[in-house]
Amino acid sequence: MQLNTHLNKLNFGIRRSVFAIFSALDLSDQEVLDLLELSDREFTKIRNGLNFQLETLELLCSKLNITLDHLSKNSIDYIALAQQFSGACFAFPEKYCDPQGKLARTRTVLGVYSYLQAGHGFRYANGILRKLQLHPSLFSSPDDMVSSFLIQDLLDEMSKSRFTDKALIEMGKNAVNINKNTNIGKLLCPSKSPKELYERVHAEVLGAHYDMIFNYHLANANDEGVKMITTIKTDAQEALKTKVFGNRQLCLYKQGVYASFLGHISKSNYNLVESECLYLGGTQCVFHVTW
Amino acid sequence: MKKTTRPALGQALFRMRKCTGTSQEKMGKILSIHQTALSRIENGVQTLSAIQLYLMSEYFQVPAHDIFNQKINYWDLAERFHQPHPYPKRYQTAYFSKVREVLPLISFLNTVSNEETARSILAQFEFDSVLFQHYDLSISVNFTLDLIRELLKRRLLTADSFNVLIRQTWLKDVHGSDLRETYDNQDSALKLIQARVMKAEHYESNFKYKIEEMNNKLIAISVTPSDYMKEICNTDHILGGFLCNYRKEYFKNFPLYNSFRPLKLEEHNCKETRNYECSYVLKTA
């Protein structure tokens, strides 16, 4: 009895999502048939209560860049869906559109995306973006500003997909590939020592080319290592309406990014330690890189 | 064009059920179907419905999207259900190898034999290539060694086919993105070998590699087996000899990964019959 109720609820939820999609996209009956690749007769049966077949649902999802889970959880942003369907693939879901929240850079998304694409293939990488109702073409220029919440959700999704802490650090390290042929690469490559490199990173790179959420402070730099401190900017706290923005995943990714800078001067022997973390009870994040 | 992935979904359901220690009876109740129907789904005879996929997703706590696309981390699933890793029992010890070390062997097997033979060999070890999706996962070295033994026994791995195996190690896909990034950035064959030696723990921890000397013309490497490996090599000299030769060929030719010329190898101290401690010098040709 209980299971039947649950099945009915599940069925009802999926049907509601699918028909809400048709309505949001303002589709005629023929357009629905074309989209689902169904005959008139098959669709009439569905209209009369027959359940959708799995392949039909997946086909609908893949054509609309959403996932099967969006249907069951009723978590579709219908406005973005309609915009994307009408050809505006540059449409973000509403939760990522608030201009005040756009304090991060596309660079981070590209770092994660290229890591996934290289290790798991395009299909998998696109699938992760699809879970957030995002399209890869939204992220072409690394310097574009994007929603801070998008970055947070993306890294959270990595964690849900069971990527380990080590993998998150590796994703951050991928920044060296994203930055190599950009102004950042040109700025950092001429550095004669790691110390000079990190001085340049703090003076010219982090403020200008990375997010506007965190203060990046080079607390100490000598010939053996550097100590770097990050805190959340007060105006970011106000804009994002939270005192502690971000998550541990973001911090692990940041560790990788810090390490990635050494790649510009081909320094592969180093040690990076985070001695304090905002997301593990600290008041700031403190990173030490020694070489 | 609609996808038809139903038999694969049935297999996924079977594996997920096994990994989590879920009985057929319990799974049947969860999916609200009879055990016979469950068997038919698992064997690909009957199709899985959308609702059943969602019920699977809820029970296993794996997104329906991931199940449909066969992106399931079986290791993680087993851990969450407090079950042993999805290996046969004899491969649940000696986790000294990594998935990426095995990939060239699987790729070799698919190259020198037909798909059915490859599948039957892996099935013999109760392994399924679908499990090899996460490059960095530690797996039992016993599996790697058993697979090599089987390939040697079946004469699939011979002096003639040795180069085919070595060639599989140059495939960029076997290393995974982070290592590829390191290798792709090396501008000479010697630096590439240096990077490979420094990343050795990403492949296996059966041997300890040390760079004894390096300049712009040569790199000298010493190799010391772990106690576990020493014992294995000393009881199976054919295997020990193979591993020794394989490693030398591997290092000599690894520069081809980045389209550099292979290196010349000079053996300095290769004690195949005693402890398998080797040292050699690789020089630019």
Q: Any idea what the CATH number is for the domain that residue A82 is in?
A: 1.10.260
B63 and A CB contact within 8 Å = yes
Grade residue B93 by pLDDT with cuts at 50, 70 and 90.
Answer: confident
Are A81 and A156 part of one and the same domain?
no
Chosen domain end from A88, A110, A138:
A88
Residue B2 predicted with pLDDT over 60: no
Two tokens, residue B62: 């794996």
Residue B189 predicted with pLDDT over 50: yes
Are A237 and A98 part of one and the same domain?
yes
Q: Which domains does chain B have, with CATH numbers?
A: 8-72 (1.10.260.40), 89-166 (no CATH), 178-283 (3.30.980)
Grade residue B272 by pLDDT with cuts at 50, 70 and 90.
Answer: low
The most confident of the ranges A209-223, B176-190, B259-273 is: A209-223
- The pTM is what? 0.70
Tell me the count of A-B CB pairs closer than 8 A. Answer: 97
Centre a 10 Å sphere on the Cβ of residue A234 and count the other Cβ atoms it contains: 10
- Boundaries of domain holding A49: 2-88
Q: Residue A116: what pLDDT?
A: 82
Query: How do residues B101-116 score in pLDDT, each as one tens digit?
Result: 998 998 899 888 887 8
Two tokens, residue A30: 């023929």
A264 and B CB contact within 8 Å = no
Grade residue B1 by pLDDT with cuts at 50, 70 and 90.
Answer: very low
Give me the mean pLDDT over the B223-250 stretch. 89
CATH number of A241's domain: 3.90.1520.10
Q: In chain B, which residues have their Cβ closer than 8 Å to the Cβ of A170?
A: 177-178
Strand partners, A105: A145
Grade residue B6 by pLDDT with cuts at 50, 70 and 90.
Answer: low
Are A52 and A173 part of one and the same domain?
no
Query: How do residues B40-84 score in pLDDT, each as one tens digit?
Result: 999 889 989 999 999 999 999 999 999 998 778 888 899 899 998
Chosen domain end from A88, A122, A142:
A88
How many residues can be counted in chain B? Answer: 285
Here the contacts of B166-172 (C-beta below 8 Å, separation 24 or greater) are B166/B246, B166/B249, B166/B250, B166/B253, B168/B103, B168/B104, B168/B105, B168/B107, B168/B108, B168/B111, B169/B104, B169/B250, B169/B253, B169/B254, B169/B257, B170/B253, B170/B254, B170/B256, B170/B257, B171/B104, B171/B107, B172/B257
Are A193 and A211 part of one and the same domain?
yes
B27 and A CB contact within 8 Å = no
CB contact under 8 A, B64 and A115: no
Q: What value of ipTM does the predicted structure carry?
A: 0.82
Q: In chain B, which residues have their Cβ closer than 8 Å to the Cβ of A11?
A: 51
What residue has token string 């590699």? B209
Under 8 Å CB-to-CB from B221, ≥6 apart: which residues? B193, B197, B209, B210, B211, B212, B251, B279, B280, B281, B282
Rounded to whole angstroms, the Cα distance separating B82 from B20 reads 8
Are A111 and A75 part of one and the same domain?
no
Are A188 and A50 part of one and the same domain?
no
Per-position b or e across B197-212, b if 16+ CB within 10 A of its CB: bebbebbbbbbebeee
CB contact under 8 A, B65 and A67: yes
Are A179 and A44 part of one and the same domain?
no
What residue has token string 């969006």? A70
Instruction: Quote the minimal CA–CA distance from A67 to chain B in Å.
Output: 6
Are A83 and A154 part of one and the same domain?
no
Chosen domain end from A53, A70, A88:
A88
Are A152 and A241 part of one and the same domain?
yes
DSSP string for residues in A51-111 = PPPHHHHHHHHHHHT--HHHHHHT---HHHHHHHHTT-TTPPPGGGT-GGG--EEHHHHHH
Q: In chain A, which residues have their Cβ closer than 8 Å to the Cβ of B76?
A: 162
Are A113 and A205 part of one and the same domain?
yes
Number of structural domains chain A divides into: 2
Q: In chain B, which residues have their Cβ closer than 8 Å to the Cβ of A37?
A: 1-2
Tens of each residue's pLDDT in chain A, 291 residues: 566 788 888 999 999 999 999 999 999 999 999 999 999 999 999 988 888 999 999 999 999 999 999 999 989 999 999 998 988 767 899 999 988 899 999 999 998 998 887 766 677 888 899 999 999 888 988 889 999 999 999 999 988 887 888 889 988 988 888 888 888 999 999 999 999 999 999 999 998 899 999 999 999 999 999 999 999 999 999 888 888 888 999 999 999 999 999 989 988 788 999 999 999 999 999 999 999
Are A127 and A239 part of one and the same domain?
yes
Are A68 and A155 part of one and the same domain?
no
Read off the DSSP letter of residue A210.
S
Pair B257, B192: CB distance under 8 Å: yes
